[in-house]
Amino acid sequence: MSLLRHSRLRFLAIFMVLALVLAACGNDEDTNGDNGAATDGAATWDQPIVFGDFNWDSALFHNRVAQYIVENGYGYETDTLAATTAPMLQGMKDDQVHVVTEMWIENLPDSYHEDVEAGEYVDLGANYSESIQGWFVPTYVIEGDEERGIEPMAPDLQSVEDLPQYAEVFNDPEDPGKGRIYHGVGGWEATEISQAKVDAYGLADTYNGFLPGSEAALFTSLQSAYQRGDAWIGYLWMPSWVAAQLDLTMVEEPEYTDDCWDQIMSGEEACAFPNVRVNVVANPRFAAAAPEVIEFLENYESTMDETSEVLLYMVDTDSTAEEAAIWWLQENEDTWTSWVPEDVAEGVRAALDRP
């Protein structure tokens, strides 16, 4: 009886081992078949891809182009989350934002570069590599405009050193006797830099800074002054529709240096904005899970002039960023199809062809 019992136990043990081996083999087959992403590098992302919306039109436009391709070409759902610079960066760290298509790299705090090195963000390279920002005035302020009957108001204005003598020209209606410099929107890193420059250039005694509530409010203030032929000075950037549409002159500043920029926020020294790289940036967990979308975003590329053209189209046709994205995709098939495989392009074309 004892030998029979031991034989049965031995048979049972062998049977259980074989069952476990077969189960493991079956699991391997399932992993390699139904979920091939585990071995072939395909996507494993199973939630909406959240694009970070900054509050200026070019950022919205580029997001909408990328979203349209991702939704209709790759089959993912997308969503958006609006924020200014600091909350956006934190949102990417916290997995609340997965893609930003227009990150102005040189305007970011130094910690951004450290975080990229630490793997907190994946910098996918340039959307467009050239951009311009600084303080601008309508050219007629310096040169006049004979056709419009405008005499030069600040004929010797060339650099920031000349601004004190023209404070009354750029009169602040809320504080007569001092000039007004329009900064960017609150929450932008560039706005804080522009504010610091007022102190560094010794302009605080002769000028007040003014923060408009939005990009639209900033542009409206300039456009209104331009239509009246009035003086205006403030922070602007290219690409933007207003800089493309109006005749403007940038006020000269000391040449940019790394040493100056390192202490720009101190208000003790200032210099010109650097030429800014405008990059596409992704959340690292999303990047690892959706490599085919990341490949598309690495290929995504535009120029300052192309973006300015779209922004002018938006103004001229009163189009939303979504409408401008569809228009651009319809007009520039040769460009965007070079970013994606043919099967993805077919899906996007089919969506564009739908009424």
- Stretch 229-248: mean pLDDT: 93
pLDDT per residue over 274-318, tens digit each? 888 899 999 999 999 999 999 999 999 999 989 999 999 999 999
List of domains in the chain = 49-131+276-353 (3.40.190.10), 136-266 (3.40.190.100)
Alpha helical stretches, state H, 183-281: 189-200, 215-228, 241-245, 258-262
pLDDT per residue over 156-189, tens digit each? 999 999 999 999 999 999 999 899 999 999 989 8
pLDDT per residue over 52-64, tens digit each? 999 899 999 999 9
Indicate whether 239 pLDDT > 80: yes
d(CA 11, CA 326) in angstroms, rounded, equals 69
pLDDT reported for residue 276: 86
pLDDT reported for residue 43: 64
pLDDT reported for residue 25: 42
pLDDT reported for residue 3: 32
d(CA 237, CA 134) in angstroms, rounded, equals 7
pLDDT per residue over 322-340, tens digit each? 999 999 999 999 999 999 9
Indicate whether 21 pLDDT > 60: no
Q: Coil, helix or strand for 251?
A: coil
pLDDT reported for residue 42: 55
Banded model confidence at residue 110, pLDDT cuts 50, 70, 90: confident
